[in-house]
Structure 1
């Protein structure tokens, strides 16, 4: 009898294991198919949600001015954001296209004239002599210079084409994300209620505190990192366009990327100042130098003002997030990575502090109970 019972239990156990394995396998297969379907939309939706959280206060203020029309307010905010993105992109692209077209015309005409370097170039510390010799080679014998540096020129042109293609893709992604953000802001209360239910189920009683911390982190990083980067690149780019620096559009885009990655804008500004200094007159060079340096150093007072409104995130966290995000998802990942990593950093600190405070409170209560018992 015991043997038959054991056999039945063993058979039942095997049947349950097989049935569970089949169910789990089907669930994994369903999740895999679902992920493949929604994968192209994950980054735009996530970025749209981040933009919605950051711009919701602006939308609410505009809603009051429009007589409570939330849909119209969110649409206007999304359209303004798209305009802010598209107009500079068109200007930068136009600058790059004009430069390429002009270079093509010059090459086809055969009348290539490169001004020779001045002695000021040779006086630049460390790189002056090398830069002077290369510049002088292209100014005196451009065919020989092209033959000598042909692999580097091909690599440079390929890099530019790759950057432009990535920038166009990122612009489209930004536009889609802003449209999604507009929808999120128009129905913020309903979405917030649904997310709150999920958050309470997942996190527990701390859900509201976590949500407030995430919103504060998003606004802080978006203003203090991305906002400052836009302002810096706009100031420096305007100086380059006004003084007609070659490839001003491309240099402006590179400045924006450096600033978001928390690298100093002077890495680009300094060589451009040397170029203007070697080719322009004293007055224009001085004006450009002051203008460009002001833009490059403006983050020193902009970041404390803008990031002070939210939370303080260490720069290494932003740097790792920005670079890792860019490697993962291109230019849009540059923005997204910094924000996501900052959110995780703040949530981790909150979790550590919360648990520590809870333990200290329990310890204090236990000590008081012991003292009461002794009395």
Structure 2
């Protein structure tokens, strides 16, 4: 009888295991299939959420100022963002196209002439002699110089074409993200309630505090990264326009992109400084160099001032998260990395405080027992 009972239990156990394995396998298959379906929309949805969180205070202000429905205010901001994205892209693309067309026409006509370098170029430390030699070759015998550096020119042209193509794809992605952000902002209460329910279900009673921390961190990173990049590009661009540097608008735009990507603006500024010293008098070249150098390193002062505002997390934690996230996951990692590190910091502080509370409780018990 015992053997029969054990056999029945064993058969039931195997049957339950098989049934559970089949259910888990079907669930994994369903999750994997669902992810493959929504994968193209994950990044735009994340960007849409980030943009919605960042622009929600502005949407509330616009809604109260214009006395319109939130949907109209959100749509207006989304359309304004699309215009702000399209305008510089069209201007820069048109400038590049016109420049390439003009250069090809000049090359075909044989009328192109490049001024030779001055002795000050050769006096530049480390790279002066090599730069003087290459510049002289292009100014004296352009055809020979082009043939000599043809592989490098092809690789640069291919790189520029790739950058323009990826920029166009990124622009389309941001337009989709702005449309998604407008939908999130128009139905903010419903979306917030759904996120709060999921967060409470996942992490418990601390979910509300962490969702508020996430929103504040996103706004802080937006201000400390995009805001600082915009201010820095304006400072550099003002010097470019004041001193009449060729392609000043394009250089300003590149500085903005470098700032958002957390790359040093000196990469863009230093070649322009060499050009100015080679083509202008010493006094204006010195003034220009001091101006753009201060502008290029201004992010070291602006980031501590702007990043971390409104957040209890220390600025170095957010800055490390933003830079580390950028290196790991690209531009979107700026926000995700900062949020993840901020939440881990709050967890760590909570763990420390719990230990302190426990120790104080033990001390209190021992004192009471002694009394």
Whole-angstrom CA distance in 2 between matches of 1:196 and 1:184: 14
**Deviating more after overlay: 338-347 vs 317-326:** 317-326
Q: Secondary structure at the match of 1:23?
A: helix
Whole-angstrom CA distance in 1 between matches of 2:179 and 2:270: 38
Q: TM-score, structure 1 length as denominator?
A: 0.91
- How many positions carry a matched residue from both structures? 367
Structure 1: state its 5+ residue gaps: 327-333
Residue in 2 that maps onto 1:293: 293
Q: How far did 1:30 drift? A: 0.8
Across the aligned residues of Structure 1 and Structure 2, the Cα RMSD in angstroms comes to 2.1
The correspondence for 2:362, drawn from 359, 362, 366, is 366
Residue in 2 that maps onto 1:47: 47
Whole-angstrom CA distance in 2 between matches of 1:321 and 1:54: 18
Whole-angstrom CA distance in 1 between matches of 2:308 and 2:326: 20
Whole-angstrom CA distance in 1 between matches of 2:308 and 2:29: 46
Q: TM-score, structure 2 length as denominator?
A: 0.92
Whole-angstrom CA distance in 2 between matches of 1:239 and 1:252: 10
Judged with a 3 Å threshold, the aligned counterparts in structure 2 of structure 1 residues 172 and 288 are, in CA distance, closer, same or farther, namely farther
Residue in 1 that maps onto 2:99: 99
Residue in 1 that maps onto 2:25: 25
Q: How far did 1:281 drift? A: 4.8
1:137-152 equivalence runs, <5 A: 137-152=137-152
User: Would you say 1:6 and 2:6 are equivalent positions?
Assistant: yes
Residue in 2 that maps onto 1:206: 206
Q: How far did 1:290 drift? A: 5.2
Structure 2: state its 5+ residue gaps: none
Judged with a 3 Å threshold, the aligned counterparts in structure 2 of structure 1 residues 96 and 237 are, in CA distance, closer, same or farther, namely farther
Q: Secondary structure at the match of 1:124?
A: coil
Residue in 2 that maps onto 1:319: 323
Whole-angstrom CA distance in 2 between matches of 1:100 and 1:239: 25
Residue in 2 that maps onto 1:330: none
- Deviations along 1:28-64, one digit per CA (max 9) or x if unpaired, are 1111110011001111111110111111111111111
8 A contact 2:262–2:323 mirrored in 1: yes
Q: How far did 1:284 drift? A: 5.8
1:1-375 equivalence runs, <5 A: 1-67=1-67, 69-237=69-237, 239-240=239-240, 245-246=245-246, 248=248, 251-281=251-281, 285=285, 288-289=288-289, 291-311=291-311, 312-314=315-317, 315-326=319-330, 334=331, 336-375=332-371
Judged with a 3 Å threshold, the aligned counterparts in structure 2 of structure 1 residues 342 and 303 are, in CA distance, closer, same or farther, namely same
